[in-house]
Structure 1
């Protein structure tokens, strides 16, 4: 039975793509496959998919280029798939707007769990009602968040944040002055508690610092507590 969620797989290895499709369809997802970068951009930008599963090594345009292009218009989870173990590839993908990544080889059950977790977190973010019904905002220092409209202002200027950036900032603001471990942040924001990935959290923290700190090289708002995690300072 279909769960109404549509997944786009962008993968040039037909055997891998078919395995991914089969296991996702067993769980009720509707799946379409394209096998090159330009087709991934064209189909992904259609707006009909709830999540995009994007391989890094693709003909025509690699996964990084596809991710960068899609992020100009698409606001859905992008899960990058890479055969490389190097952190630099993972960090590059996250820096371009990917929400998560998975390293080949992976088990089909891990793939399905990652897809479900990212979709659940995305829905939670979209449906979140963190503000009072009167539309008032959360304000800490020079940062103001309006959860009902998902708008963020720093020193009076509106910011454009990606999904995970917004949810991470909102979570930090809601737990101001508390030390939060990387594992806690990964579990609460990415929703996949089997493996907490410090690179994912660190990249998103750095991206937030670039956008909200007056001097990202010497952060005063999102502070690192060495050996423990991060603290959002009031």
Structure 2
């Protein structure tokens, strides 16, 4: 795994570096925002970790610029009290966030969760018929990670948006709680991060929902479901 971490706190990078080495992660550390963004463009990365408070170019700007050209998994690092930053980061395309201060084990768990499903999708050897999911309005390929709505390719879906929509489409009209979606789609148990699910549902609605066909429904007090019939 090739990982780029843009973090200006050298002591944080030093602390986490030994864990990356243990997990056989090829990590590159950059301590300046603009330099980090330029470094991103020079190579192919499996995951990018971005602190929001950076010199030269802030983490929000980097995340937004990366999303203009790439669907690489992104984890943002935020201050514990900065809830608005966490939500905004998710809205502009981050796949997950970790609040400071954090333990290396927590960060490693999130890295594995974010990259696990993308890696699995790339290694799928299923037959073509098993790889295509079709509904009344959608056709989705797990192998190519493409979703077509009424024959038109949906572009600019992040990896987690794809995973979330695919999972819900696999279980039409079945209601899932936020906790269940975190476990099934993100790969970790519920730690109070339900806004992660809420923001991804919100982003998906902007990209696929119409007034006539909302597709993604909120069941108040329970969770969410995918339903084309309502």
Q: Which structure 2 residues correspond to residues 111-190 of structure 1 after superposition, within 5 A?
A: 111-128=107-124, 132-134=127-129, 137-160=132-155, 161-190=157-186
Unpaired segments of 5 or more residues in structure 1? none
Higher mean C-alpha deviation, range 91-100 or range 143-152 = 143-152
Deviations 1:121-161 (A, max 9, x none): 2212333467x524874222322213332221223321111
Distance in 1 between residues matched to 2:158 and 2:166, nearest whole Å: 12
Distance in 2 between residues matched to 1:194 and 1:224, nearest whole Å: 19
Q: What TM-score results when the alignment is normalised by the length of structure 1?
A: 0.89
Distance 1:151 1:129, change over 3 A: farther
Corresponding residue SS for 1:179:
coil
Deviations 1:8-65 (A, max 9, x none): 1101111112112222222221221111111111112233322111100001110010
Distance in 2 between residues matched to 1:221 and 1:92, nearest whole Å: 24
Corresponding residue to 2:214 among 209, 220, 223: 220
Distance in 1 between residues matched to 2:181 and 2:11, nearest whole Å: 35
Distance in 2 between residues matched to 1:26 and 1:147, nearest whole Å: 31
Tell me which residue corresponds to 2:197.
Answer: 201
Deviations 1:195-219 (A, max 9, x none): 252111011101111111113xx86
Q: How many residues align?
A: 227
Tell me which residue corresponds to 2:5.
Answer: 9
Query: Residues 125 and 167 of structure 1 are in contact (CA less than 8 Å); yes or no, is this contact kept in structure 2?
Result: no
Tell me which residue corresponds to 1:58.
Answer: 54
RMSD over aligned CA atoms reads 2.0
Distance 1:223 1:81, change over 3 A: same
Distance in 2 between residues matched to 1:119 and 1:139, nearest whole Å: 25
Tell me which residue corresponds to 2:34.
Answer: 38
Query: Residues 182 and 190 of structure 2 are in contact (CA less than 8 Å); yes or no, is this contact kept in structure 1?
Result: no
Higher mean C-alpha deviation, range 96-105 or range 37-46 = 37-46
Higher mean C-alpha deviation, range 45-54 or range 156-165 = 45-54
Q: What TM-score results when the alignment is normalised by the length of structure 2?
A: 0.90
Distance in 1 between residues matched to 2:75 and 2:153, nearest whole Å: 27
Distance in 1 between residues matched to 2:190 and 2:146, nearest whole Å: 31
